[in-house]
Chains A and B, each alone.
Chain A
Amino acid sequence: MAGPTVSAGSASRGDYDTLIDVDAEGVDLGETDLEFHDFHTGDNVQGKIPAGGQSRLYEPPLSLENDPNRPLSIWTIHFYAQFFNVETSDVMQRCIYALYPRVSFVDTVGDNPDLYGPFWIASTVILVLFFSSTLAGAIASHVAGVRYEYNFGLLSAAAALMYGYTFIVPILLWGSLKWYRSEHARLLECVTLYGYANTIWVPVALVSISPIEIFNFQTIANVVRWASAAVGFAISTTFLVRNLYPVLNSTEAKTSRILLIVVVLGHMALAFVVKLVFFAYSIDDNSN
C-alpha cells in the first residue's frame, strides 16, 4: 500500500504530534508502541471472495501438477481434482470405446481413471431417460386423444436407479474381489468401467421414444423398444465382460465364473428395469 494511512479518531491528539515528529526527524519513540496498520480494504469493500479466489479451498490445482507426490488431504478440492484430470478428447475417446468395445478399455484408460465420466454420463442418462420417457408418453396420449400428465417421480426413479447402479455395484464388485484376494482389483477402475458402460443408454433411450407410435403402430413401437434395450444390454455387457474378465480371472476359476454370472445378471436386471419402468407406455396405462 502507498503511504501511511491514518484513520481519524483512532488516536489522541498527542499521538499525532509524535507520529509527525517521526516522519520529519526519525526521533526515538521511547515507549510509544505505534504501528502502521493496514486498514486498506481496497476493491473488495463488501468483504466477499474475490474472483481469483484466495481461500485455500479454491486454488486452481496447479500445485497438483507441479508436485504429484505431495500427499493430499481428503478435505481439499485438490484431492478430488486428481479424479477429474481429463481433457475433452480423453472423455470423447472413452465414450466411443464404450460404445464400440473393440480395444481394451482398461489399457486405454491406463493409470488415469476418472470420475467425470461416471458422474456426468449417469446424470445425462437420468435426464435423457426422463426426456424420452415423457416424450413417448406424450405421443401415446396424443394418439389416444387424452391430455398427457407427466410423472415427476420418473426423475427420482431414474436418479436412484442410475446413481445407485453406477456407484454401488462397482463398490460391491470391488469388495467381493478383495474378499477373494484378487490382486488387480482397483475401486476407481471399477467405477470408471461401470460409468462409461452407461453411455449406451443415451442412444437406447432416444431410440426408445420410437415416434412411429404417432401413426398408431403400438406393437412396432414396443418391438423397437425391446430391441433397443436388448442391443444396449448386449453392447454394454460385452464392454463390461471384456474389460472385467482379466480382473475376475485373477481369482479362483470357480469364483471368477460366479462373479461373471452375477455381473451379467445384474446388468440384465438394469436393462429390464430401464425398459419396463421408463418405456412401458400403452394406452391403457395412461387412461387409468
Chain B
Amino acid sequence: MNTHTLAGDQIQDRRFSGGDTLDEPVLETLMRDVRAVGRRVKQVLYPKVNANIDAESGQIIRDWDLWGPLVFCLFLSLALSISAPAQQASRVFSGVFAFVWIAEALVTLNIKLLGGSISFFHSVCILGYALFPLVPGAIFSLIVKSMIIRFPIVVALIAWSLFASMRTLKGAGVREGRVVLAMYPVWLFYGWLGWLCVIT
C-alpha cells in the first residue's frame, strides 16, 4: 500500500504494488513460489488450534495454487511406477496421475453438490497439499519390500493426510447432517492411494 500526497490531500493507492520484480534474478522469482508452496504445506499439515491463527492460516491456503499438488502428484506417480511390477510402469504412472486429479475433482464436486460453500480450486488445493505424507510413504515402499513393515507406516501416513485435510476443509461449509457424506470420498481417496503404496 503506497501513500502519496497530491495537491495537499493524502491519497492512498490500494492496488498491489509488490515491489519491483522486473530486474530481480530469476532464481528469486522461482524461490518466491517455492516458499509459498512450503508455507501452504506447513499450513495444511500442521494446522494450529488457536482460533486467531486459524483465520490467518485460512487466508494463506485460500490463495490457492496447484504447484504443490502437481509436484506431489508427480512424485507419487513416479515412485509408484518405479516400484510397480515390470511391464506396468507407464500404466501405473498414468493411472495414478489421472486417478489423483480425477478423484480430487470428484471429491470437490461432491462437496459442491451437497451444498458446500468452499470454492472449487480451494478444495482441490487442500486435497492436493494433504497428499504430501503419501510421497515419503511411496518412497519408503521403494526401499522396504516387506508388506508387513510397510502397512503400519502407510496407515500412519494416511491418518496424517486424513487428519490434515479434514482439519483444513472444516466440513467445507456443508450442513451438519452431511459432513460425513462430504468427507467419506476423501477417506476412499487417501485409503486407496495408501493401499497402492503397501501392495506395490
Which residues on A are within 8 Å of B, measured CB to CB? 5-8, 16-17, 20, 39-42, 45-46, 48-53, 58, 60-62, 77, 80-81, 83-84, 86-89, 91, 116, 120, 123-124, 127, 130-131, 134-135, 138, 148-153, 155-156
Contacts and interface: CB of A to CB of B under 8 A. Distances in A.
Given A16-B6, A88-B180, A123-B188, 7 more contacts: A16-B7, A49-B121, A124-B188, A130-B195, A149-B85, A151-B85, A152-B91
18 contacts: A5-B13, A6-B6, A7-B15, A8-B4, A17-B7, A20-B9, A39-B15, A41-B16, A42-B14, A88-B180, A89-B177, A116-B114, A120-B185, A138-B199, A148-B199, A150-B85, A150-B200, A152-B88
Interface in B10-42: 11-16
B114 A84 contact: yes
Interface string B86-104: 1010011001000100000
B47 interface: no
Nearest to B103: A123
Given A46-B63, A50-B62, A77-B112, A155 B120 contact: no
User: Which residue of B14, B115, B184 has the most chain A CB atoms within 10 A of its CB atom?
Assistant: B115
B113 A51 contact: no
Interface of B: 4, 6-7, 9, 11-16, 58, 62-64, 84-86, 88, 91-92, 95, 99, 110, 112-122, 147, 173, 175, 177-181, 184-185, 188, 191-192, 195, 199-200
B56 to A, nearest CB: 13
A41 B13 CA distance: 11
For the complex of A and B, the 7 pairs showing the least CB-CB separation, nearest first, are A149-B85, A87-B177, A84-B113, A45-B16, A88-B180, A53-B119, A127-B192
B80 to A, nearest CB: 10
A86 B181 contact: yes
Nearest to A16: B7
B14 A5 contact: yes
B62 A41 contact: no
B14 A155 contact: no
Contact of A150 (B11, B121, B199): B199
